[in-house]
Structure 1
Amino acid sequence: MLELNDVAVARGGITVLEGVSFHLAAGNALILRGENGIGKTTLLRAIAGLQPTVNGTIQAPEESIAFASHADGIKAQLTVRENLEFWAEVYGNASSDVDAAIQAMNLMELTDRPAAQMSAGQKRRLGLGRLLVTARLIWVLDEPTVSLDRASVALFSDVVRAHLAGGGAALIATHIDLGIEAETLDLTPFKAKADVTADTFDGDYW
């Protein structure tokens, strides 16, 4: 469903990861690990099509990826329901069951509340609820549990399990245990080597 071959990505013009290769099949989840700054977000953005790669190929069915990053991607002036309806339309899925997404993310009592009046955790649940109205098979998630309490993390884990059981796939960068069955890929071996050939000092000084 998602395949990377010898992928290299850069941040600020500097290559941070290189040689990344993996295959993610339908019904499976893959957890990305690695130290802060190693390039997890950069790699996920490239997979989502938000920035180019330096090298390699990324293959996935057309319009199959939904990306959720640190930003919640919600409009403060719209209600919970209006936000989900907006995203369903953006993804060309106007027939999406918004009520099902509201229930899955435990937003029933907040349906008509403007997002501006919600707590950080509530906004995060709404932001993740976007995934359920996209009809996209591959979820690419960057630290999805930020601002969530323990109960909400468990709720989201249930949502991911249901997505996988329905034939979807999930690629998740996270430092916590989501309690879902998944393989783990440590990005440390793919950290780009420093360019030792670069002239980093003025030789005439010596």
Structure 2
Amino acid sequence: MPDFAGTDLTCLRGDRLVFTGLDFRVAPGGALLLLGPNGSGKSSLLRVMAGFLRPWRGTLAWDDLSVAEEPEGHRRRVHYVGHLDAVKPVLTAAENLAFWASLGGAADPMAHARSALERLGVPHIAGVPGRYLSAGQKRRLNLARVLAAPAPLWLLDEPTVALDRAAVALLEGIIAEHRAGGGMVVLSTHADIALPGAEELHLDDFTPLSADDEDDDEMPEEDAA
């Protein structure tokens, strides 16, 4: 399985330079943990990796081939789960997940959806409309997307939000299984999560500070994914 890398990446959002001069590489079976305060660019980097944002400068490469040359092909290699829950309130949990499974090319989307809900420990919510799900159930539903259709690269933005310790342990096991099969994971979090052997990338090392930034006690919240 090829690796995934970025070289000299710079991200510009409006008139704000989010990060610059950033390099990374994730090998098959590898994990990259994104660290840094709010506003340091973790969500923006994940969106760049997913192909939702174009870097202002620098290159993304899959097996040393530029992602820009085949953006649609790259998106098919990626499962991106943002920190906001993309759950349609009128659809049941299984219908929400089957929709995502169909986009991922699953041969039997509903069967894959039910299997993924089982694996995430919430088979009982399959027939429940999205509007009635708790925050923790919505989070598990969104994370089930990575199991409903295969993809080698998982990009997870704050995946442990609204999860209890048992659910976090379950997620850790699922990530470990994905990596054992050669899959790759890039993950941002403010909470503890077990990622044995993961590389760490501190985004604040690549964030240029203005004079105003240096006077602030906290960095601003990032745009919602």
- The TM-score with structure 2 as length reference comes to 0.81
Query: Where do residues 119-198 of structure 1 align in structure 2 (5 Å cutoff)?
Result: 119-181=134-196, 182-192=198-208, 194=210
Q: CA separation in 2, counterparts of 1:185 and 1:111? A: 37
Cα pair 1:143 1:173 within 8 Å, conserved: yes
Bigger drift between 75-84 and 24-33 goes to 75-84
The 4+ residue runs of structure 1 with deviation greater than 6 A are none
Q: 1:15 aligns with which of 13, 17, 26?
A: 17
Report which of the two has the higher share of helix.
2
| Residue pair 1:80, 1:115 contacting (<8 A) in 2 also | yes
The answer on 1:86 being equivalent to 2:102 is no
Instruction: Report the secondary structure of 1:17's partner residue.
Output: strand
User: What is the CA-CA distance between 1:127 and the residue it aligns to?
Assistant: 0.7
Which structure 2 residue ranges, 5 or more long, are not aligned? 63-72, 212-225
Structure 1, unmatched stretches of 5+, are 196-206
Aligned-partner Cα distance in 2 for 1:141–1:19: 22
Instruction: With the length of structure 1 as denominator, give the TM-score of the two structures.
Output: 0.89
Identity level (%): 39
Structure 1 pair 95–166 and aligned structure 2 pair: CA distance change class (3 A): farther
Q: Is the 8 A contact 2:114 2:126 kept in 1?
A: no
Pairs aligned (count): 195
Number of the residue aligned with 1:112: 127
Instruction: Using the TM superposition, name which of 71-80 and 115-124 deviates more.
Output: 71-80
Map of 1:36 onto structure 2: 38
Write out per-residue CA displacement over residues 4-42 of structure 1, whole angstroms, 9 at most, x where no aligned residue: 000011223311101111110111111010111111111
